[in-house]
Structures are given as structure tokens and as C-alpha cells.
Structure 1
Amino acid sequence: MSGERPRPAEAADRDMDRKILELFRSRSGGFVSGEVLSTLLGVSRTAVWKHIKNLKNLGYRIESVPSRGYRLVASPDILTPAEISAGLAVRRIGTHVVCFRETGSTNTVASQLAAEGAAEGTVVLADAQTGGKGRLGRRWESPPGVNVYCSVILRPPISPLHSPQLTLLSAVATAEAIERTSGLVPAIKWPNDILANGFKVAGMLSELSAETERVEYLVLGIGVNINMERDQFPDGLRYPASSLALEAGRTVERIPFVRSLLESLDRLYDEYLLKGFPPVRDAWLARSAVMGRRVTVDGGAGILAGTVEGIDEIGALLVRTAGGSLERVLAGDVSLEG
């Protein structure tokens, strides 16, 4: 798939592909005649055949039997707007999905789209990244076909001071999706790491465009190691890394994971707009890997050691030092002690 924004005709074709996939799935593997598809979709049987052919070219196994029609036999594990949108239950986040076979960075693409006026809730996904970004300018390894690299455009009515709250929201949503699709019980390490069995399996990187008092747009970048093998991880990682498949002992399908992630983001963001940060804060603390733990924090200018007592109203980490003072940490690398 190209890196260009879809033209209206392409968008219409993708929407038709999505509708066909939803109809197939509503029949639970049964046959659907070309005549029924034509009637329900409001297009000719020739148009139906062309869309079926396109879906086959994308890797869908679709059986066709004279006088019975078509049925979906198997779906490929590829990230396409039609596949992700089929059955996706969202109000805002994921109503427009852009997918790439390969791009430099989904955050870079999403920022470009946001600057051009892309709607809130637009999602950018890639099968591979050549320039995946982590925190503090670090590289995020992004091999093809095994992980999820996702960026979401938001336009929240908040001040830039409160933007870290949405990074924590994305961490909660990611943890929820991991639990639902893999059976693992993940924990969140402040500010943006998701751990499974003590290994890092996901990370968040938020990028902001704002004026003094107003956020113009925020890009939530989310990278999740889904099915990476041990030999795909680079040497010299700052924190022990793994994947959902390695920790769960089985392959995890990427499409259901993406749908689950977008649905969690959509629900949590709606709640955030209605009720503010407290529900997100509570959900984050319930999954925290650092709450009540002894930690050291490398903030760049020095090392802070103490016990985590929570997060404050903007998402800063609260650390009680041995001397009794309560320190607010706005940025830094956190290491667990013991």
C-alpha cells in the first residue's frame, strides 16, 4: 500500500471491502450468494466479483461455488483498513484508518496528517517502520509482519501542561488490549512501558503541537511487540524486552489486537473528555508496576532514589525519598530496585 492519502474512489473501494467482510463474518463461515451481496450492498454483481477478486489478491481465502455463492475461509494477518474496520465498535478513534506496508515512522506520518487537518481519531498503522522512534531519541526496532506500530491523532481541549495524562491513558488502553487478546496480565512502568512477566513488550511516545494555552493536536504513538522471536531483538537494549507470543507461549493475532486497542482507546478517551483525569489515574494505578516500590530515577541531571507513592493530577511520578521529602518527577528513566 502506498504512503499517499487515499483518493475518494480508493476510500469508497476500501469501505466496500469492509462491508463485504462484515457480511461474510455475519454468516459465520456460511455461503452468501452474489445476488444477496449485490442487493445488500447496492452494487452490481460484476462489482461484487471485482471486490471479491481484490480481497483474494490481498490474501483472503474466499471460496466460490456455483449456485451457492461465496464464503470466507481464512483471513491473512495483514493490516488493512477494511480488515481492521470490519466489526470495529468505536465512536471516534479508528473511524478513519490509514495503513502502510512500510513507512519511516507512523508518528511522523500522523503528525503530517494532523498538520494538514486530519480528523481527530485518525489512526496510522504500518506493517514495518524504517525509522521507528522511542523516547529520548532512541530507536524502536520495527521488523515487518510481527508487531503493531500505531499512531493516533487527538485534538483534546486541554492545556499542554496536561498532555502527559493522555500518554498514561494510552498505556492503560494498551494494557487492556494485551490482557484481552493474550491472556497475560501486564503492568505499567512509568511513564510509558508495558511489562509482561517483567519484560518490556510495549512502549508509548506522544508528540505534541501546541500554543501556550491550547493543544493543537497530539499524536499518541504505540508500539507493541506481538510475535517477535528472540533472535529479532537487537543487542544492548536498555531494558529486557520480549513479545506477547514469547510470554504467552502462543501466537497472538494482530488484527484482533488492533481492534481491541482502538476500542479501549476510544472508550477511555470518551470517559476522559467527560470526567477528566481521575478515572484514568485510578486505572493506571491499578496496573502500576511501580506503585509502592523502591525505584531509582535517572532524570539526566542526577539520580533520585525513593519509594513511589503515586502520580499527581498531571501524571508526574511522586517519589518519597529516604529523607522524607516528596519529589515530583516529570521525566526520566525509572528502574525498579529488588
Structure 2
Amino acid sequence: MQSTRSKLIDLLEKNKEQYISGQSLSEVLGISRSAIWKHMNELKKDGYIIEAKSNKGYRIIDFPNKLSENTVKWGLRTKWLGKRIIHHESIASTQTIAHDEARNNAPGGTIIIADEQTKGRGRIARNWDSSKGKGIWLSMILRPEIQPHHAPQLTLLTATVLADVLSNYVDINPKIKWPNDILMNNKKMAGILTEMQAEQDQIWYVIIGIGLNVNHSIDDLPEGLRNIATSIKMETSKEWLLKDLIQEILVTFERTYEDYLENGFSEIKQKWEGYGFKIGQEIAIKTLKEEWKAPFLGITDDGALLTKSSSGETIELYSAEIDWFHQTDKS
């Protein structure tokens, strides 16, 4: 249930171009004008800039520069994605909360955001460092009407969304490393974790987790990651507002996702390959049976890596150990 404070902020945001009287707020919220005045003072203490004028009422000017349900919602230009936002200052994992919410019938489009994750995780149960206030750590709940075997396409779709935001909004040139990493200058900037609850022919829900390094300096990264990870700040030499980046991601995701549901995967596949790291170049591949080098040809509709076998036949790989940075042998 939405709190009185959240309802008050919603009313101020919807009327941000004009003043709204204390009497009107009192009637809509069902509380006294004195209570309205106390709420306004508390909002000001939290960093909200609110203008009050006699005989006119209140008007919100700006939100504090920190993440919350209300700061992310303010100015968010989506139709359904992010209309319900759950924010935590510190939790183990946004994915865990998202699963709990989805099992309790949270609507598609629900977003879970944290300032910090103490047990953030990536693919194959790997840990993901999620420093407080330095990056975007969020999970979104989707309830797509697609077949379960198409769910891996959502990981690839999300990768193109992040690449588009970094390219168009941040103005850098990212690459997507198969299957789910966003690189800049050969260093990891973001990762995606997609999890699903489904039956054989029906998806109950999909959780897409995004971890994006934003305002880290080199000293903010664990020592073991400093040669392989980067952040938007490290690549652009300036800090970024997390709220603005989250809004760009949500707007771009909603548009891309709706287009995907209507028109299919072909455009996403083409865009992914346009951003694809080492497409057309040689990679080193290791499976349980053998090791070889072959060109990375692209991806399939279900997200497999297209390459050549050691005997030269075109094959699809769904899992393998890939050395993306191997040195070509010199004769």
C-alpha cells in the first residue's frame, strides 16, 4: 500500500507546473492541513526542494540526488515499466527480492532497486561487487507471453538496451561479450542475469537483473578487478546521476521489449551482432572434449554462439569456455 508521503509526492509531481493548495492536499489525502505542513518540512529535510506561497499553496521544484521510489518515478516517461518501484538502501540481492515479489503476484513491470547489494550475484553463481551508491543494481519482473525456450532472447535484448543507452545517452562505444557482459575498452562495465519460473509451455515470470558500474573510481573496485573492470565515470571522467541513467534504461527497455513482442527477435539479433565483441574475429574455445580456435560468426535466435568446429563445420555452442583475449600464434 502506498504511504501518505508517497501519495503526497505523487500529487506534487503531477502538479509540478502549478501550485496546489494545502486545502486540496488535505482533502485528497484525508489528513489535516497541519499534517500536510509537517510532511512538507520532513520532505525539505530529506533534500526535496519545495516552494510554498501564501494563498497559492505548494509546488515541488526538484528531488534530492539520491535513489528512492519517488526520485526514480519523478519524470519517468514509461507506460508500465517502473510504475511500481521497490527501493532498499542495502539488501542481499535485488534478484532474491524480485523472486519473492513475483511469487506474491507482483505485476509485470515491477522494479527492485538497491543502493547496495551485500550478496549480489551474476551468472553461474558468481559474486557481483555492488558498492553502495556507486552503481545501478536493479531487477525487473516481467510476465511475457512467449514460449519458455525463447526466454534467452530477453538476455540478449537487455544487452542491446544497455548498449544503446551507453552509446546514445552516455556517448561511449560499448561492446557486448557473449552472452551477457557489456565491455568498454575490453573491460567489463555491466552484467545481466536472467532467471525464470516456468512450466514446459508457459512462463510464469522472468526476472532480469542488471548490474552497471557507474561512479566507481579505480580505488572503489576490488583490487582483483581493477585490470578487468571499468565504470562510466572511469571512461568519461565525470560522475553521473543514477536516477537519470535508470530512467533512460527503463524507457529504452520498454520501447525495445514492446517492439520485440510485436515483431519478433530478428531486429534484436541484428542489433546485438552490431555491438558484438569479436564478431568475425578468432576466439579460443575449450569444451570438455577438445580445444581449438575459430571465428566468432554471430548468434542464433535462441542465443547460441555460432562458430566453426575444429573440422571446419558451422556449429552452435550453448556453453563453452571462451578465451576472448588469446594471443594469435606467431609463426
TM-score category (smaller protein): 0.7 to 0.9
Question: For residues 324 and 330 of structure 1, do their structure 2 counterparts lie closer, same or farther at Cα, with a shift above 3 Å needed?
Answer: same
Is residue 2:3 matched to residue 1:17?
no
Question: Percent of aligned pairs with the same residue?
Answer: 32
TM-score by length of 2: 0.88
TM-score by length of 1: 0.86
Q: Distance in 1 between matches of 2:96 and 2:292?
A: 33
Map 1:261-272 to 2 at 5 A.
261-272=249-260
Structure-2 residue corresponding to 1:313:
301
Q: What displacement does 1:303 show?
A: 4.1
User: Secondary structure in 1 aligned to 2:296?
Assistant: strand
Q: Distance in 2 between matches of 1:143 and 1:173?
A: 23
Q: Distance in 2 between matches of 1:301 and 1:64?
A: 72
Which segment is superposed worse, 163-172 or 229-238? 229-238
Q: 2:218 is aligned with what amino acid?
A: R
Q: Distance in 2 between matches of 1:22 and 1:227?
A: 30
Which segment is superposed worse, 74-83 or 129-138? 74-83
* 2:25 and 2:36 in contact (8 A); partners too: no
Structure 2: segments with no counterpart, 5+ residues: none
User: Secondary structure in 1 aligned to 2:297?
Assistant: strand
Q: What displacement does 1:178 show?
A: 2.1
2:164 to 176, 196, 217: 176
Structure-2 residue corresponding to 1:35:
21
Structure-1 residue corresponding to 2:89:
101
Q: Distance in 2 between matches of 1:325 and 1:154?
A: 38
Structure-2 residue corresponding to 1:250:
238
Q: Distance in 2 between matches of 1:61 and 1:295?
A: 54
* 2:89 and 2:115 in contact (8 A); partners too: yes
Q: Deviations over 1:241-263 (max 9, x none)?
A: 01001101111110010001111
Question: For residues 214 and 34 of structure 1, do their structure 2 counterparts lie closer, same or farther at Cα, with a shift above 3 Å needed?
Answer: closer
Structure 1: segments with no counterpart, 5+ residues: 1-7
Is residue 2:186 matched to residue 1:186?
no
Q: Distance in 1 between matches of 2:26 and 2:246?
A: 28
Is residue 2:64 matched to residue 1:76?
yes
User: Secondary structure in 2 aligned to 1:136?
Assistant: helix
Question: For residues 302 and 330 of structure 1, do their structure 2 counterparts lie closer, same or farther at Cα, with a shift above 3 Å needed?
Answer: same
Structure-2 residue corresponding to 1:53:
41
Question: For residues 167 and 97 of structure 1, do their structure 2 counterparts lie closer, same or farther at Cα, with a shift above 3 Å needed?
Answer: same
Q: Distance in 1 between matches of 2:284 and 2:193?
A: 21
Question: For residues 255 and 157 of structure 1, do their structure 2 counterparts lie closer, same or farther at Cα, with a shift above 3 Å needed?
Answer: same
Question: For residues 222 and 239 of structure 1, do their structure 2 counterparts lie closer, same or farther at Cα, with a shift above 3 Å needed?
Answer: farther
Q: Distance in 2 between matches of 1:299 and 1:57?
A: 58
Q: 1:89 is aligned with what amino acid?
A: R
Q: How many residues align?
A: 324
User: Secondary structure in 1 aligned to 2:117?
Assistant: coil
Q: Distance in 2 between matches of 1:37 and 1:270?
A: 41
Question: For residues 164 and 66 of structure 1, do their structure 2 counterparts lie closer, same or farther at Cα, with a shift above 3 Å needed?
Answer: same
Q: Distance in 1 between matches of 2:54 and 2:127?
A: 52
User: Secondary structure in 2 aligned to 1:132?
Assistant: coil
* 1:90 and 1:262 in contact (8 A); partners too: yes
Q: Distance in 1 between matches of 2:193 and 2:43?
A: 33
